[in-house]
Structure 1
Amino acid sequence: WREENLPEGQPSLQQSTNQACMVEDILDENLLQSALDLRLRRRFIFQQDNDPKHTAKISKEWLQDNSVNVLEWPSQSPDLNPIEHLWRDLKMAVHRLFPSNLMELERCCKEE
């Protein structure tokens, strides 16, 4: 799962390994359209952690080629990332619901 600032406010399920190419696809399919849908135009700053897939050359090039302003982020700083605190709460809430398959897991996450 990944948090995504989608207009519907729902997370997006990704069913493949997290690699730099996948990050590029995610950015391509979601980031700029979400900014347009939210009427941000180019007035936003994109924040992501320093996970290797986010700092890979292909990811950095995509952000630069699409003129995305990126917030510089210190290494080893998950405590500064607000979404990290929410993931724990989501995991606990979903765990209490005992989803038995992927569809139930996705439904539970979206409902929470």
Structure 2
Amino acid sequence: QPLHNDPKYTAKTTQEWLRDKSLNVLEWPSQSPDLNPIEHLWRDLKIAVQRRSPSNLTELHRVCREEREKLPKYRCVKLVASYPRRIEAEITGNSASTKY
């Protein structure tokens, strides 16, 4: 499974373990756009929760659950469906203009 150069994957012992397991690790610029669809959903959830301004931990938990349930399913489908196009845009260097 491809991984990127997140610090948790760059420690020497981690690199050795990955190499010993013959796992393919992609060279990935640290400033590249995040291509993981779930990260976009986390951003959507964060924005929705911030709009509601929960004032304590109990309220935060409740608001997170409510807003998570309201995330539109088509958003997930669209993010997954656009993944091949976003990868191609990243490879060709046109990622700045890629729509999600």
Shorter-chain TM-score range: 0.3 to 0.5
Q: Report which of the two has the higher share of helix.
A: 2
Normalising by structure 1, we get a TM-score of: 0.39
Larger radius of gyration: 2
